[in-house]
Amino acid sequence: MNFEEAKQRIDYLRKTLEYNSKLYYEKDSPEISDYEYDALFRELGDLEAAFPELDSPVSITKRVGGKALDKFEKFTHNVRMGSLTDVFSEEELFDFLDKTNAALSRDAEYSVEPKIDGLSVSLTYENGAFVRGATRGDGIVGEDVTENLKTVKSIPLKLSEKLPYLTVRGEVYMPRAVFEELNASREEEGLALFANPRNAAAGSLRQLDPKIAASRRLEIFVFNLQEGSLYSDGRACKTHSESLDRLDELGFTTLPYREVLSGKDRIIEKVRALGEARPELSFDMDGAVIKLNDLSERVKVGEGTSTPKWATAFKYPPEEKRTELLSISIQVGRTGVLTPIANLSPVRLAGTTVSRATLHNGSFIKEKDIRVGDTVVVRKAGEIIPEIVESIKSERSIDSEIFEMPKVCPSCGSPVIRDTAGDGTAIRCVNSGCPAQNARSIVHFASKGAMNIEGMGPSVVELLLSNGKIKDAADLYSLKKEDVEGLDRMGAKSAENLISAIDASKERGLERLLFALGVRQVGEVAAEEIAARMQTLDAVMEASFEDFASIPDIGEITAKAIVEFFEDEKIRSLVERLRAYGLNFNAAKEKKSTVFEGMTFVLTGTLPTMTRDEASELIKERGGKVSGSVSKKTSIVLAGEEAGSKLTKAKDLGIKIIDEAEFLKMLDN
């Protein structure tokens, strides 16, 4: 790889990692698996080492974890909560052991432990009493979540001995059984499901109400002494295992299944055994940690720039299981797209039972030659969405049949067409009165990014449709408490909450309503752009193709789709009924000025006195646009502390860079 290729790849990796790091650490909503993230992180580190002139002190490889959220007080750790280097193969693990043993001139002892997939926290005790708990954050500054941690029953509020001062590190997690109960309950209530136990634990620990955190039944495994003496006489522990045994005596729940071993063969055998045991454990683990047991030897081996040289984490690849493909059903989406779904013989995978997986489209099935009755390999994409990796052709029945996508819609019987937009793989039902499309349109209308009607999930929508209480989205606003109360799983309180949520949604404003209506090609960002330009739904409905095409980032395909959408008499009738029910057809916020008209901002880093969301709102209110990535179209980059690759790219492109103080001056002017 030459210099220019390396530069482009490093820029891409930094941008991708920053984006996914924010999703993982701050939004608790990952899109890729830990394994994929770690592989990208590792590749970036290798490239920075190979091309030191492209390295940067603000690269994500120099930081740990995510930023502390603004809703909790910040807490500065006395001892940095660092991370470990990762290895992805037994050969790489052997290499780590060889180098470490060589540095010590002997076959050292290592503590081999499960790597719990949860949220890392520090716990501080004074005179034997729990006084503070904080998340890892960026390793130096975290969030003070003391009150929520007090609800974790496995955290002792008083130690068995009154030690003057002690800080330990642990991993808060949600047991798999609790996770499944929680998601089953949320599904009944029509709430969004948590992606996995780790995200459920992180979201629970960040609740502002400790009662909610308490209801989530979180647990903790403590795995390290951060600072302080474990003995009243001040005597120091000589080994890591001794410190954990002592923490056990003091009342902590320490890591299970840990073992002190020497010899590469015994260590790799233990790592394999932990990996094989993963499906049967009551908690999620995504790797094994291997670290020197003797604390004096750790000092001798030393620390790297951001990670210790005396420890590593062996990361297990995404779990894959074999199961039988029982049938293929067709799901009709809100825009009429037909998606094939694999119905599987239930299999336990990555902590949950999987019985369905997406097959994407007919081209995917044909390319992988997947047939009903096949033995298939299934895994979770990003450890969240089940997908089929391959079918085992050697185990296929001789009378198996090639799957063909239907020629008519399975919901309404109307003919389907191949959609020529995009890559041409989508098959679509064009009947706007299709029942399946209608149900999914109502679910979308009520979803969080749209009208945000809490409690109006897929099961509740189906319940209302099947009982004849609604026919379309506008009917939601005709519902009364007595219409809902008494339906299956709907009591008086649930009905009251649902009606209140529906009433509250009337004030969401034009941005949300445009997205909720489900115009093809119009996502949340495009809806904001249109609302900012048009200001009212009436103006949107009367606008021409040229009007829409003149809006930045609204292309000709989208402009055509919007015009055609509002020409439909059914849509116009729906809009008039929504008007009669009193929905807000105006843009949520009028521009305070046009000082930023035509300008595109990119925000990066931590600002001194405001959040990036607050700064974004100020920009939009004054006619500006906020983008998530730096390009030649970017007008200004607003940079705070720890600005990352966006700042570097802005400098390379010669884009104007300002700080918060200059930004505030621009607002004043």
CATH code, domain carrying 454: 1.10.150.20
Three-class secondary structure assignment of 275-314: HHHHHHCCCCEEEEEEEECEHHHHHHHCECCCCECCEEEE
Band of residue 124 on the pLDDT scale cut at 50, 70, 90:
very high
Share the mean pLDDT of the chain. Answer: 86
Q: Do 163 and 281 lie in a common domain?
A: yes
Extract the tokens encoding 31.
Answer: 């899109």
Encode pLDDT of 627-636 as tens digits.
877 888 899 9
Asked whether 145 and 206 are in contact (CB, 8 A), the reply is yes
> Residues 208-214: what's their mean pLDDT?
78
CA distances from 484 to 72, 195, 442, 444 (A): 38, 29, 16, 20
Helix (H) or strand (E) holding 16: helix 3-25
Among 425, 448, 477, where does a domain finish? 425
In 133-227, alpha helices (H): 146-149, 176-188, 197-205, 210-215
Question: Of 253-257, 384-388, 454-458, where does the model show the most confidence?
Answer: 253-257
Asked if residue 241 and residue 338 are part of one domain, the reply reads no
Answer yes or no: do 311 and 324 share one domain: no
What is the CATH classification number for the domain harbouring 643?
3.40.50.10190
Tokens of 176: 């798999």
Identify whether residues 333 and 246 lie together within a single domain: no
Provide the domain count of the chain.
5
Higher pLDDT, 108 or 492: 108
Please write the tens of the pLDDT for every residue from 218-248.
999 999 999 998 988 888 899 999 999 999 9
Q: What is the mean pLDDT of residues 140-147?
A: 87
Q: Which of 393, 425, 457 is the last residue of a domain?
A: 425
Instruction: Please report whether residue 72 resides in a domain.
Output: no
3-state secondary structure 324-356: EEEEEEEEECCCCEEEEEEEEEEEEECCEEEEE
Q: Average pLDDT in the 272-294 region?
A: 91
Amino acid residing at 614: E
350 and 208, same domain (yes or no): no
Is the predicted pLDDT of residue 352 greater than 80, yes or no?
no
- 252 and 138 in one domain? yes
Token pair 């909560």 in the structure block, residue? 81
Q: What is the pLDDT of residue 323?
A: 93
pLDDT given for residue 17 in this prediction: 84
Q: Are residues 310 and 335 in the same domain?
A: no
The answer to the question of residue 207 being in a domain is yes
Is 70 part of a structural domain of the chain? no
Let me know if residue 527 belongs to a domain. Answer: yes
| 14 plus 146 within the same structural domain | no
pLDDT exceeds 70 at position 384: no
Q: pLDDT class for 113, splitting at 50, 70, 90?
A: very high
Helix (H) or strand (E) holding 488: none
Give the residue from 404, 425, 446 where a domain finishes.
425
**253 and 220 inside one domain:** yes
- 573-609 pLDDT, tens digit per residue, is 999 999 999 999 998 655 556 788 888 899 887 776 6
Find the domain containing 22 and state its range: 3-57
Separation of alpha carbons 563 and 541, rounded Å? 8
Provide the pLDDT confidence category of residue 286 given band limits of 50, 70 and 90. confident
| CB under 8 A, 24+ apart: contacts of 569-572 | 570/432, 570/433, 571/517, 572/541
Instruction: Give the model's pLDDT for residue 290.
Output: 96
Q: Which of 371-385, 412-426, 539-553 has the highest mean pLDDT?
A: 539-553
pLDDT of residue 304: 81
Residue with tokens 């909790």: 72
pLDDT at residue 69, rounded to an integer: 47
3 state SS of 189: coil
Let me know: does 345 contact 356? Beta carbons within 8 Å: no
182 φψ region: left (φ > 0), alpha (ψ -120 to 50), beta (else): alpha
The more confident residue out of 290 and 14 is: 290
Residues 388 and 439 in one domain: no
For residues 167-182, give the mean pLDDT.
91
Q: Report which of residues 354 and 104 the model is more confident about.
A: 104
Whether 62 is covered by a domain: the verdict is no
Written as one letter, the residue type at 23 is L
The reply to whether 563 and 662 lie within a common domain is no
63 occurs within a structural domain: no
Asked if the structure places residue 591 within a domain, the reply is no
Give me the active site residues, please: 115
